[in-house]
Amino acid sequence: MTVGLLSRRASLGLILSTAALAACGKGGGAGGGEVLRVGSQRGGTKTIMLASKMLEGVPYRIEWSEFPAAQHLLEALGAGAVDVGGVGDAPFLFAYQAGSPIKAVQSTRYNPRNIANAVLVPKGSPAKSFADLRGRKIATGRGSVGHFLLLRALEKYAMKPADVQIIFLPPGDAKAAFASGSIDAWVVWNPYAGAALLHDGARAIVDARGVTTGYGYMVAGDAAIAARRPLIADFLARYARGQQWAAAHLDDYAAALAKETGLPLADARYFADNELRAVPSDAHVLAELSSVQETFRAAGAIQGTRPLEAAFDRGFGVKAT
């Protein structure tokens, strides 16, 4: 099986087990019965759109599906089970270079004001710096933003992937392994990182800020772009405005996040305290994605040769205004 991709049947099975379907916005779905299927990670796109009320008056119906991590969302996009959804730069790159029929239709810049993606060690760990993890077991998700941070940390400390024991686990399994002490470190993102830091006594010995790029993408399947371009364009414009609302209404956004995810309010506020905004998919964004690719290639973690210029559909022209 190609790394990072499941079969269409597996992706659809995941959709059926995790989907949360909702007609969102006043009058949603009334305009001719058109449907846009949107994938969201926990506390992600769906929460911003519902909290900001940017879907009020939307002339089509939104069908939401929620996923525990970007890999699962990308599998669904590639299988045509959802039309559009947001992911980080590293998982998008993995899926694209694995041959998935997808494109980035909007670029976003994530600027956290706290620890949002980090190399964590458990309470009582003797590790004082990343160098102390040489030879130790470190868990993260394959092709995730955590995987990318791990590789960048290895570069920073003049180490190679073979200098540590990398164990690829989904967030739920990694959380259990971290709690039991069967791994020495966990490279993970919010809301998982925040919960471990706030409640479990975990410490961050490497923080993504200043180490990784902080870019992500709204991604759509090629078939969805061809069939639902006007709907996707409208949704992206609303999402860009929703991001602005979230940054300007932190307390309201955190309250909505707590309600939507079940996180304690303090955790939700920690998660929400960042700036996420749409940016042009320009030469700078392309160069940053190329840098991500070079890091994975140097580690022997990615082999695809698809041109990165073709990974973007710039025809949507979304601006956060």
Q: List the domain boundaries for the chain.
A: 8-113+213-316, 117-207
pLDDT tens profile 257-298:
999 889 999 999 998 888 889 999 999 999 999 999 999 999
Distances (CA, A) of 162 to 24, 244, 260, 305: 48, 42, 40, 24
Q: Say yes or no: do domains 8-113+213-316 and 117-207 share a fold.
A: yes
Q: Are the CB atoms for 311 and 105 separated by under 8 Å?
A: no
Does domain 8-113+213-316 bear CATH number 3.30.70.260?
no
Start-to-end CA distance of the chain, whole Å, equals 42
The SS3 call for residue 148 is helix
At 223-265, the pLDDT tens digits run 999 999 999 999 999 999 999 999 999 999 999 999 988 999 9
Q: Topology of domain 117-207, per CATH?
A: D-Maltodextrin-Binding Protein; domain 2 (3.40.190)
Q: Tell me the β-bridge partners of 216.
A: 88, 108
Per run of 10 residues, the mean pLDDT along the chain (length 321 residues) is 36 40 37 86 92 95 93 96 96 96 95 90 96 98 94 96 96 95 96 92 92 90 97 96 94 93 91 88 94 94 94 79 41
